């Protein structure tokens, strides 16, 4: 493990970045018990940043491709009516819940077929500063994987992804940044800067896997450390030499420092390779015990 400390001469006033904040926060809602978890995190972040909350209630309609013929047309009509009625009931509950929120808020409902629904959510994400959702890691949430992917690739904003049933950890005190010399990492740091700036400890880590070649290095960490310092953020920069995978090393470091948030770029390789065959992003989505901040 190699630790790099930025020169003290690069540290300037934090006044400008401390004033940076999220003003619009979108939170994915689906009528499930997990809505309460997402709303609790959204409310805490909104209160800390003076932000407005927009609940994006997704009510998926049945896939027409699964039905054919006259019987199929009749069946899908009935299923659409049933889904709409269930959506009405969930919307009523959500409006009652949102009425108890402190920050300004609104609820937007999206009833749409597969494919269209995911694109509609990505559209909503674009005019917000942050999109909060649940990591699609188990049977109860895996069906939202295409939605998360669409927002990640096409929403243009950072994603704040919660482990299922994630306990509220507010305020965020310790942030771990998993850095690689990629566009995705740069985007993640830029999008997460309001959270990074408010943390009391920031750990900047790159993983050098001896078995798989070098990833990152001292030069890259020195530059990003100096960049953060000019934004008033003092980060401890560390190069991890490991024989394990990069994701295992990051998760072990997160546990070691008791991180409240992991910031990382999403999908360092092709979308197909990362999503289907795995990779650091997929591993973090499946295993991170604390919230993830991802950007692409």
117-129: average pLDDT: 98
Q: According to the model, what pLDDT value does residue 218 have?
A: 67
Res. 140: pLDDT tops 90: no
What is the rounded CA–CA span in Å between residue 64 and residue 68? 8
Res. 14: pLDDT tops 50: no
Q: According to the model, what pLDDT value does residue 209 have?
A: 54
Best-predicted range by mean pLDDT among 71-85, 163-177, 260-274?
Answer: 163-177
Res. 280: pLDDT tops 70: yes
Indicate the helix (H) or strand (E) that contains 58.
Answer: strand 52-60
pLDDT confidence band for 102 (50 / 70 / 90): very high
Residue 242, helix vs strand vs coil: strand
Structure tokens at 74: 């009749």
Q: Give the residue among 168, 164, 167 at the shortest CA–CA distance from 139.
A: 164
pLDDT confidence band for 217 (50 / 70 / 90): low
Q: According to the model, what pLDDT value does residue 295 have?
A: 95
- The answer to whether 206 touches 242, Cβ cutoff 8 Å, is no
What CATH number belongs to 2-18+167-295? 3.40.50.620
Q: Which residues pair with 106 in a beta bridge?
A: 54
155-166: average pLDDT: 96
* R_g over Cα of the chain: 20
Which tens digits make up the pLDDT trace of 37-51? 999 999 999 999 999
Res. 228: pLDDT tops 70: yes
The counts of H helices and E strands in the chain are 10, 11
Q: According to the model, what pLDDT value does residue 179 have?
A: 94
Higher pLDDT residue, 164 or 15? 164
Which tens digits make up the pLDDT trace of 250-279? 999 999 999 999 999 987 555 555 554 458
Res. 7: pLDDT tops 80: no
pLDDT confidence band for 138 (50 / 70 / 90): confident
Domain with CATH 3.40.50.620 in the chain: 2-18+167-295, 24-162
Res. 189: pLDDT tops 70: yes
Report the 10 Å Cβ neighbour count for 26.
27
Q: Give the residue among 52, 50, 16, 47 at the shortest CA–CA distance from 128.
A: 52
pLDDT confidence band for 4 (50 / 70 / 90): low
Topology, domain 24-162: Rossmann fold (3.40.50)
pLDDT confidence band for 96 (50 / 70 / 90): very high
Higher pLDDT residue, 9 or 62? 62
């Amino acid at each position: 493990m190699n630790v790099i400390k930025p020169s003290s001469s690069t540290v300037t006033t934090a006044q400008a970045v401390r004033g940076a904040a999220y003003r619009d926060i979108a939170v994915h809602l689906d009528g499930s018990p997990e809505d309460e978890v997402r709303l609790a995190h959204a409310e805490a972040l909104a209160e800390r940043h003076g932000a407005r909350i927009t609940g994006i209630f997704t009510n998926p309609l049945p896939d027409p491709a699964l039905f054919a013929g006259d019987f199929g047309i009749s069946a899908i009509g009935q299923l659409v009516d049933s889904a709409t009625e269930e959506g009405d009931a969930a919307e009523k509950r959500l409006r009652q819940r949102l009425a108890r929120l402190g920050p300004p808020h609104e609820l937007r409902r999206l009833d749409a077929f597969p494919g269209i629904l995911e694109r509609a959510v990505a559209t909503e994400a674009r005019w917000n500063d942050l999109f909060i959702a649940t990591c699609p890691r188990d049977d109860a949430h895996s069906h939202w994987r295409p939605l998360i992917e669409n927002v990640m690739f096409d929403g243009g904003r950072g994603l704040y992804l919660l482990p299922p049933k994630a306990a509220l950890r507010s305020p965020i005190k310790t942030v771990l940044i998993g850095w690689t010399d990629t566009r995705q990492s740069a985007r993640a740091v830029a999008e997460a800067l309001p959270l990074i700036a408010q943390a009391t400890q920031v750990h900047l880590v790159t993983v050098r896997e001896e078995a798989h070649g070098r990833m990152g290095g001292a030069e890259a960490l020195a530059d990003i450390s100096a960049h953060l310092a000019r934004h008033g953020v003092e980060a401890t920069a560390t190069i991890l030499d490991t024989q394990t995978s990069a994701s295992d090393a990051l998760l072990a470091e997160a546990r070691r420092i008791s991180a409240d948030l992991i910031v990382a770029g999403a999908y360092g390789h092709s979308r197909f390779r990362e999503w289907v065959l795995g990779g650091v992003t997929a591993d973090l989505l499946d295993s991170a015990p604390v919230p993830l901040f991802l950007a692409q």
